[in-house]
Structure formats: structure tokens, C-alpha cells
């Protein structure tokens, strides 16, 4: 995880083309985020845990769709933060597609630490054309970093 850059996922353990994914992430031991959240009690902000689940969902949707459209986070419901996530924690992030709509997708995400669920949410995404070539290049380069795409595939877009 590079919290300051919203780079929440470190790797992908499993992608099922039926519509599920498992990713991994290690919370850094130190980050400027922890200077404010909170002094003397560093924990990962809940919004960043939600973002982590959204990114797992988003990359799953990108991979299933051949990186053709950008999933934009539209809504979260039933969001539960069940325990603190601290510097150095190793996380497993699971997401599954709950509903494949026309131009939108609903997913369910869960973050676990040592098998225990620490947060979960239902999320909705709009699927739209990439609004800028720069964003598409960035997402595809992240796709290479996470092993969804080969460098050659990333440059085909």
C-alpha cells in the first residue's frame, strides 16, 4: 500500500472470470496519513479501507471487461468497519460481482486480516469510457503492476 498515492493493492492472488477476486496489501509501517489519523493511535482511515475494497472491485471489473471502460465508484451501502487496521497489518481483500447491470455493476467487498473480517461493504460502479488518455494509461500501467496485463497488452489500448 502507498496510502499517499491511493495505491491500495500490492498484488492479486486470484481472479475468477465468473466474477471474484482476491488481492493482498500490506499496510506500511509509517505514512504521513498516520501523523493525523491519529497522533498516538495510528489506524488506517475507514475511507481508505473502503477505497481498498473499491479498487479490488474496480480492477476485477477492468480485468473482466478487458480494460475497455473505467469503473467509477458511485455508491457504497452496508459499510461496516469492524476493527482497527494498524501499521504493518497484512490484509486480504476479496470482492465479488453481485449484479452485472447495463452500464453499472454492484459488488460486495471484504477485507480480512489473519482470516478475520475487518470491514465489508456493498458497492456500485458506473462503467464509462475512459474520460482521458492519461487516466487510461495510468490504469493500464497499474494493470501491468498487478499482473492483469502484459506490457504489450497495456500499450494496445
Partner 1 sequence: MADTFGTVAEIISSTSDVPLGDIRPDSHIMNDLGVDSLAFLDIAFEIDKRFGIKMPIEDWLQEVNEGRAESAEYFRVGNLCQRIEGLVSRAAAPAV
Binding mask 69-98 toward partner 1 (x if CB under 8 A, else -) reads -----xx-----------------------
Does 156 bind partner 1 (CB under 8 A)? Our answer is no
Closest CA to 15 of 56, 52, 67, 68: 56
Does 124 bind partner 1 (CB under 8 A)? Our answer is yes
Three-class SS state of 152? helix
In the complex with partner 1, the residue whose CB is nearer, 75 or 82, is 75
Does 100 bind partner 1 (CB under 8 A)? Our answer is yes
Does 102 bind partner 1 (CB under 8 A)? Our answer is yes
Q: Which residue shows C-alpha cell 451501502?
A: 77
What is the rounded CA–CA span in Å between residue 2 and residue 122? Answer: 24
Closest CA to 59 of 13, 27, 28: 13
Closest CA to 123 of 110, 111, 106: 106
Q: Would you call 41 a catalytic residue per the annotation? A: no
Does 101 bind partner 1 (CB under 8 A)? Our answer is yes
> Which amino acids are annotated catalytic?
37
Interface ranges with partner 1 (CB under 8 A):
74-75, 99-104, 106, 124, 126
Amino acid at each position: 500500500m502507498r496510502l499517499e498515492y491511493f495505491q491500495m493493492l500490492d498484488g492479486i492472488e486470484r481472479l475468477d472470470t465468473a466474477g471474484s477476486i482476491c488481492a493482498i496489501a500490506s499496510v506500511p509501517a509509517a505514512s504521513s496519513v498516520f501523523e493525523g489519523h491519529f497522533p498516538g493511535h495510528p489506524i488506517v482511515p475507514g475511507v481508505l479501507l473502503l477505497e481498498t475494497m473499491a479498487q479490488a472491485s474496480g480492477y476485477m471489473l477492468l480485468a473482466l471487461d478487458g480494460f475497455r471502460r473505467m469503473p467509477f465508484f458511485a455508491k457504497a451501502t452496508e459499510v461496516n468497519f469492524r476493527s482497527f487496521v494498524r501499521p504493518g497489518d497484512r490484509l486480504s481483500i476479496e470482492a465479488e460481482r453481485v449484479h452485472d447491470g447495463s452500464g453499472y455493476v454492484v459488488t460486495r467487498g471484504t477485507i480480512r486480516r489473519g482470516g478475520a473480517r475487518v470491514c465489508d461493504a456493498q458497492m456500485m460502479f458506473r462503467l464509462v469510457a475512459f474520460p482521458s488518455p492519461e487516466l487510461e494509461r495510468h490504469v493500464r500501467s497499474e494493470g501491468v503492476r498487478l499482473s492483469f496485463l502484459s506490457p504489450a497488452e497495456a500499450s494496445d489500448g
